[in-house]
A = this chain, B = another copy of it.
Amino acid sequence: MISASSLAPARPGRPRSERARLAILEAGADLLLEGGLAAATIEGIAARAGVSKVTIYKWWPSRGAVAVDSFFHRYRQTISFEETGDLAHDLTVQILAVINDFRGRAGEVMAELIGQAQSDPDLAGTLRTRWLDPRRQASTALVRRSIDRGEIAPDVDIQVFLDQIYAPLYFRLTMRHQPLDDSLAQILVHTVLDGVRS
């Protein structure tokens, strides 16, 4: 097969077992949801997946790495969203989606992953690359188009602007000092767009 050889270099040796890869990710996701990050030990995942520990270490550098991959394997989320031309509305819709995710089991796991990332640079990198960056890029583009439309000032620091809208969600997720209500969405957007001065 021409396509096969051109796409895959056809390396010598036994090819990686897709069966093992999937079993690991499924087992990882299961444990993550059942008992949180603490339950997702390499040993536990290996046992549940019917796989040897070495096979996991072969393909993932750390416990955190398997965890994130397992998490994203299960929560294959979409970032795409329709753009109506009204920045306030588009942002609100997106924030509502994030709030909704964060309120469920996935939110708890995400919080633990962020937590673990504080002492696992590997995991931190993966989290940025696979979770934050894609969302940032989409949001940045959204804001940029809004600027082009003249909705908001052109000299706005987009990154700070986005932080002021999204950071509170992560802050409440991790510190739990205030609830993650749906009503948050509108207030967050409204405040940064219009300010609070009387």
Contact = CB atoms under 8 A, between A and B. Distances in A.
Contacts of A168: 160, 163-164, 167
Nearest to A143: B196
A159 B178 contact: yes
Please classify the interface of chain A as helix (H, G, I), strand (E, B), loop, or mixed, using the class held by over half of its residues.
helix
Given A192-B195, A198-B154, A177 B119 contact: no
A116 interface: yes
Contacts of A153: 196-198
A187 B114 CA distance: 26
Protomer copies: 4
Q: Which of A38, A163, A187 has the most CB of B within 10 A?
A: A163
A128 B197 contact: no
Q: Which of A133, A187, A195 has the most CB of B within 10 A?
A: A195
Nearest to A181: B160
Contacts of A161: 191, 196
Given A38-B119, A176-B128, A177-B136, A196 B192 contact: yes
B175 A132 contact: yes
A197 B114 contact: no
Nearest to A159: B178
A193 interface: yes
A195 B195 contact: yes
A198 B115 contact: no
A167 B171 contact: yes
B187 A157 contact: yes
A148 B165 CA distance: 26
Contacts of A37: 118-119
Contact of A160 (B119, B157, B184): B184
Contact of A198 (B132, B150, B166, B187): B150
7 pairs of A and B residues whose beta carbons are closest in the complex: A115-B118, A195-B195, A167-B171, A167-B167, A163-B168, A115-B115, A194-B195
